[in-house]
Structures are given as C-alpha cells and as structure tokens.
Amino acid sequence: MAENRAVAYKAPGVVEVIDVDYPTFELKDGPGVNPANIGRKVPHGAIIRTVATNICGSDQHMVRGRTTAPANLVLGHEITGEVVEVGPGVEFIKVGDLVSVPFNIACGRCRNCKERKTGICLNVNPDRPGSAYGYVDMGGWVGGQAEFVLVPYADWNLLKFPDRDQALEKILDLAMLSDIFPTGFHGAVTAGVGVGSTVYVAGAGPVGLAAATSALLLGAAAVIVGDMNADRLAQARSFGCETVDLSEGNLVDQIEQILGVPEVDCGVDAVGFEARGQGHGADAKEAPATVLNSLMDVTAAGGALGIPGLYVTGDPGGIDEAAQKGSLSLSLGTGWAKSLSFTTGQCPVMKYNHGLMQAILHDRVHIAKNVNAKAITLEDAPRGYAEFDAGAATKYVLNPNGFLDAA
C-alpha cells in the first residue's frame, strides 16, 4: 500500500501533518464523513498525486475553531495534481494528465449541475446541496492538503491543462484556478463589474486580491481595496489598485477622496463572517455584519453586491447567540431602498475555470504574483497556517511531491 501524508485539523489553532490512508475508489469512515456516504463507491473517480494544494482563508476559519469541524479532519480544497490512477468508469481523463480540481465536488448529472450551478450539486452531500474537499458539513470527502487525493466524477470535474510543459512553467498561476481566482472572478461578475466600472472590494486577503485582479481583467476603471492590514493593502497597490485603510477613517469619505463621489458602481465582500468593525485599528472588535452593511452604504442605487466571503450556519465562536447560527443584523432596508441585488454562496468554479486558464496561459493575467503566492513544503504547513493567521500578505501553496521546487 502506498503511503500518504496529509495536513489535519487537531484543535483550535493546531494543525499537524499526519499519516493517512492512500485513497481508494470507495469512501471510508473517518472524521467528518457523512454516515450516508460511508461505503460509497467511486468508479468514476481518479486518484491524484498532488502538484499544489493551497491554504485558504476558509480553511483558516476551521483551524481557528470557528466551525464544527471535528479533530483529525484532513484539510484542503484547492488542489492541482497529476492523475496516477483512474476508476473503471473514467473515459476521457488519462493517467499522466495534469489537472486543476474545482473545489466544488459536483456529479454532472443533477439538475443544478446541468444548469452550471456546480456549487450546489444535489448528489454529493447527503445533508445539503453543495460539497467540497476537506470541509466541515460538506459530505466528508477527504481533503487535498495531502500527497494523494481522490477526485470523484473525474471526467466531469477535472480541468486538464493542454500542454504539460507550459503548465509546469505557469504552475503557481494555474494553482489558483481551483478556488480563489474563479471565486474572486465570480464576486466581480456577480457585482456587475464591466468596462469603466468603479469597484470597492472589502478585504485584501487572497480572495479579495483575486477579486480585484478580476475586476481589472473585466475592464474596471477604478478598483479600490479596503482592509486594516498595511502589508495586504500594499500588495493590492502593487498591481494597480487604489486602497483605503479602514483603521484610518470613514470608508465613505475615503472613497470620495479617491473618486470624487462617495459611492461605487459595484461592491464585493471578500471578508465573510469574521469581519471586524471599521475604524478601530488592530483592536477592532468582531462585527460580522459590518462589511455587508458598509457595502450597501457605498454601492450606488441599482448596483449589485458579489459576496464570495464565507458565511456559515454554525459558528461556536460567534459574538452572540444569533451570530452563532449565522443570523446577522443586516440593514436590509438600505439594500431594499437602493434596489441593490446580492449574490452569495459557493462560486461555481467550472463556469469560469477554463476561460481563466486561457487568460493565464496567454499571459493576460498574473494571478500568482498579484496574490503573492509562495510555495512551501507539506511539513511546513503548520507554519504557513500560523503566518497566514497572523496576517501575512501571502498565499501559501503546499508542495507535497516536489513539483514546485523550481517555483
């Protein structure tokens, strides 16, 4: 039996690299696996040798103890890899293919998948629509921060890179296709970004930087990124964004100083439920509705909000009983009065990843540079998590099998 090493959540603030089973074409019992999925056969799956697997802010929510994730859950949903084995039901994906794995697990057969709503597939999670690798309440599919991982419905889910050598030359950029680049792009698209738009992106973490990159790719005239982390704001400025430091003054006033008017056409929430109140620096207290309310304030009437930031239905660390259930004090009256539209939920990665792959391969965008991607070893994952949690302006990319040594 081949060996396998993986990054697992142990307790709040603690991750470890542990020995785990090598994948098989059957879901086994384990931490977080939905009982209804135990024993599920996966003849349509492929086993992937991981080329790159990224640390995501969504992982960080679990590691902070802000979800109901169980101990020893194997983490990781941002996966790029090489196919090493395929099940008997796989027809088109071949051993040796280099592929991007959308973080959404989708069957390709249900009504939602057929309508390109792959973030809410009906057949992969017995509890609710939608699934993902290595994530709490997402069906229990084993995470990809590992040397090897199983991908179900391989012919449907996997995006094959057309040329192996070209892909390896741009592998850090292509590693962003599994989640944050399409997610940021989805946030910008659903916010209505187009040629000449003015855009406010709340949050300068990797998803916020990806949303800002996407807004520029879509033709925005001005992209403003807001945060309270000076290093992350500097990263946003490095590729042409304007920035506002939310610890140094009122958001509306700062936007007016940049644009001459106190509003933008489009707003993107790239923060989610662990948002902090604005204008209070490093000591700002958690205020989970603050980003959504501020976006409604600054987005012009008739505009739209793209909300790729994560919101959950179970948060043990929520500031009050309502927040612990995902109930927030939204100023919905503001949104109604201004006729704003909202788009929330998982990004349907497959809707965008092929086009964004082409943009990368043809040098139209350099997403790895914009999010400051940095390759580290699998064994170094605990340090990567700690530094990311401390606010590092870095997108950490794990390198379990040495493919990224040159990067």
1 pLDDT more than 50: no
> Which residue among 296, 313, 343 closes a domain?
343
Asked if residue 367 belongs to a domain, the reply is yes
What domain range is 169 assigned to?
A: 5-179+348-398
Residues 161 and 188 in one domain: no
Helix-helix angle 230-237:206-217, to 10 degrees: 20
Asked if residue 88 belongs to a domain, the reply is yes
Residues 216 and 332 in one domain: yes
351 pLDDT more than 80: yes
For 1, the 3-state DSSP assignment is: coil
pLDDT of residue 279: 45
Residues 44 and 169 in one domain: yes
Asked if residue 407 belongs to a domain, the reply is no
- Give pLDDT tens digits for 301-332: 999 999 999 887 777 877 788 778 778 888 99
Residues 114 and 261 in one domain: no
> Which residue among 308, 325, 343 closes a domain?
343
Q: How far is CA 6 from CA 29, 172, 380, in A?
A: 16, 20, 11
Asked if residue 73 belongs to a domain, the reply is yes
- Of residues 370 and 319, the one with the higher pLDDT is 370
pLDDT of residue 317: 77
- Give pLDDT tens digits for 132-187: 999 988 989 999 999 999 999 999 999 999 999 999 999 999 999 999 999 999 99
CATH of the domain at 304: 3.40.50.720
Asked if residue 405 belongs to a domain, the reply is no
Residues 360 and 272 in one domain: no
Residues 234 and 380 in one domain: no
114 CB-side CA count, 13 A: 4
Residues 197 and 172 in one domain: no
CATH of the domain at 30: 3.90.180.10
**What's the token pair of residue 127?**
């509890």
pLDDT of residue 319: 79
Residues 20 and 153 in one domain: yes
Asked if residue 242 belongs to a domain, the reply is yes
Residues 200 and 158 in one domain: no
Asked if residue 403 belongs to a domain, the reply is no
Asked if residue 406 belongs to a domain, the reply is no
Kind and range of the H or E run holding 368: helix 367-370
- Give pLDDT tens digits for 53-90: 999 998 998 999 888 899 999 999 999 999 999 999 99
Residues 163 and 239 in one domain: no
CA distance 253 to 269: 19
Residues 168 and 240 in one domain: no
Residues 70 and 102 in one domain: yes
* Total domains, the chain: 2
